[in-house]
């Protein structure tokens, strides 16, 4: 990763940029603290250009893509005096707990209940259920599979990009895929969702960014996660917020068939009881 300050990098390339790219450059220079939390769609909308212009700008200044661009900004910001020792003057435990509680509370206030209920119905009636996620979101996918299994709902959690693509190619109408991506820009997940969508599957996206590339493939978008910079990838706060949405879905499904779900919870618990001392 480049060690040169990102603002100096942009200034050095500025004369060679197109007028649209210069608009991106000027906005970034003046809003570094905000841009690290933007999706590529957010930045494009703020500047008033297309996503392709933002991506072209990133490549023009020597970076491979938008995520590397955000990471470069985050590394520069983390080295500035005002971002050093942010926890030095407060209680570490209390601040992290407060941030987590605030994140879940904020998320609960913006969850669209109509979309949530529709998601629950779609999963309940689905012929097959799949969770796609990689990295930190892949762990959430595995947790979702486990939660559903405990109430008797069979789901597949796929965290390998090749298996995601192959699985997506076998899907059709009646199948449901939940795509998990905090950034909404995870290339592997997006490519697999595109394949699934083209084959007729219903797509549900769980992402922190309501305006991000993943939403173009989604029939339903559920906000889940928390604001984090590229240097905080997979943070506990974001993870818990993502799991909160999974919990809402699983609890909603259990309530649709209370007796059956309770019976399955007892059966699955009995199946593993001998594995605990």
Check pLDDT > 90 for residue 95: no
Q: What pLDDT does residue 226 have?
A: 65
Q: What is the mean pLDDT of the chain?
A: 87
Between CA 130 and CA 185 the distance in angstroms is: 19
Residues 227, 233, 235, 241: is their CA dihedral positive or negative?
A: positive
Sheet with 128-132, side-by-side order of all strands: 156-158, 128-132, 175-180, 202-207, 220-223
The dihedral region occupied by 224, where left means phi > 0, alpha psi between -120 and 50, and beta the remainder, is beta
> DSSP label at 130?
E
Least confident window among 70-79, 229-238, 258-267: 229-238
Average pLDDT over residues 64-88: 69
Choose between 113 and 231: higher pLDDT: 113
Q: CATH code for 6-83?
A: 1.10.10.10
Q: What pLDDT does residue 227 have?
A: 62
Q: 102-139 pLDDT, tens per residue?
A: 888 888 888 889 999 999 999 999 999 999 999 889 99
In this structure, are residues 68 and 54 in contact, taking their beta carbons and an 8 Å threshold?
no
Residues of the chain with CATH 1.10.10.10: 6-83
pTM above 0.85, yes or no: no
Selected from 3.90.226.10, 3.20.20.70, 3.40.50.10490, 3.40.630.30, the CATH number assigned to the domain covering 92-275 reads 3.40.50.10490
Check pLDDT > 70 for residue 37: yes
The dihedral region occupied by 179, where left means phi > 0, alpha psi between -120 and 50, and beta the remainder, is beta
Average pLDDT over residues 184-203: 95
Q: What pLDDT does residue 175 have?
A: 97
Q: How far apart are the first and last CA of the chain?
A: 48
Q: Which residues contact 57 (CB under 8 A, 6 or more apart)?
A: 17, 21, 24, 25
Percent composition of the chain: helix, strand, coil (DSSP 3-state, to 5): 65, 10, 30
Check pLDDT > 90 for residue 15: no
Check pLDDT > 50 for residue 85: no
Q: What pLDDT does residue 86 have?
A: 47
In this structure, are residues 169 and 121 in contact, taking their beta carbons and an 8 Å threshold?
no
Q: 137-182 pLDDT, tens per residue?
A: 999 999 999 999 999 999 999 999 999 999 999 999 999 999 999 8
Average pLDDT over residues 266-273: 88
Least confident window among 112-121, 203-212, 219-228: 219-228
Residues of the chain with CATH 3.40.50.10490: 92-275
Q: What pLDDT does residue 82 have?
A: 44
């Amino acid at each position: 990763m480049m060690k040169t300050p990102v603002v100096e990098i942009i200034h050095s390339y500025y004369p060679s940029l197109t007028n649209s790219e210069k608009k991106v450059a000027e906005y970034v220079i003046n809003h570094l603290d905000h841009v690290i939390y933007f999706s590529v769609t957010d930045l494009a909308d703020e500047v008033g250009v297309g996503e392709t212009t933002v991506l072209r700008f990133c490549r023009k200044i020597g970076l491979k893509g938008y995520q590397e661009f955000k990471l470069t900004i985050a590394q520069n910001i983390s080295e500035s005096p005002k971002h050093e020792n942010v926890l030095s003057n407060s209680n570490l435990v209390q601040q992290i707990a407060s941030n987590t509680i605030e994140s879940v509370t904020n998320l609960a206030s913006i969850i669209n209940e109509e979309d949530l209920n529709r998601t629950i119905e779609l999963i309940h009636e689905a012929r097959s259920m799949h969770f796609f996620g990689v990295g930190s979101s892949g762990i959430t996918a595995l947790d979702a599979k486990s939660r559903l299994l405990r109430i008797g709902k069979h789901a597949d959690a796929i965290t390998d990009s090749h298996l995601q693509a192959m699985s997506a190619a076998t899907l059709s109408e009646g199948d449901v895929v939940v795509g998990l991506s905090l950034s909404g820009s995870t290339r592997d997940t997006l490519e697999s969702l595109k394949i699934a969508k083209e084959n007729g599957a219903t797509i549900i996206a769980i992402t922190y960014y309501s305006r991000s590339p993943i939403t173009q493939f989604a029939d339903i978008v559920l906000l889940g996660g928390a604001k984090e910079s590229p240097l905080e990838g997979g943070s506990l706060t974001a993870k818990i917020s993502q799991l909160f949405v999974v919990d809402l879905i699983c609890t909603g499904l259990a309530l649709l068939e209370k007796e059956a779900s309770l019976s399955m919870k007892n059966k699955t618990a009995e199946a593993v009881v001998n594995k605990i001392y």
